[in-house]
Amino acid sequence: MRLALFATVLALITACSPVNPISEAEKIDIDCLASQTVVAITAAIRNGTANGASAEDLAAIPDAKIAEARKQLEAKYSGRMDDAFLEYDINHRLQKIETALRNPEDDPEAAAIMTETLALGETCQFGGQS
């Protein structure tokens, strides 16, 4: 009986233990990959628009680019749960860029994030030194 109780308590403690947090190095890598993905998304949408792509094709670009980024992240950090953080980071940066392009004076933070994202996306190297 005690053994069963001990096993149950141990299972509950293990199940409730927190997930390893994302390290600072991983955050830097994810910011880089997110920025590169945002740059790739904006370039693909720009090119698609210039080449007369359909609205459906344009709408599919972010999901396709995010899927590519997830594959890169999985290859580097196999088995981790960082892809949720990556997707949040990409979507957050895209939202801020959209806001900055509409009303840069109304949201200086969005303009700063846009500038940072575009610069980082062009200069950093995922998995390496920037």
Report pLDDT digits (tens) over 1-28.
444 444 444 444 444 444 557 788 888 8
The number of domains in the chain is 1
Taking only the tens place, the pLDDT of each residue in 42-90 is 999 999 999 999 999 999 999 999 999 999 998 888 766 677 889 999 9
In a domain, 106, yes or no: yes
In a domain, 66, yes or no: yes
> For the whole model, what pTM was predicted?
0.76
How far apart CA 83 and CA 67 sit, in angstroms, is: 10
Taking the alpha carbons at both ends of the chain, their separation in whole angstroms is 57
User: Which residue range(s) make up the domain with 39?
Assistant: 24-123
Residue 17 lies in a domain: no
For residue 1, being part of any structural domain is answered with no
In a domain, 8, yes or no: no
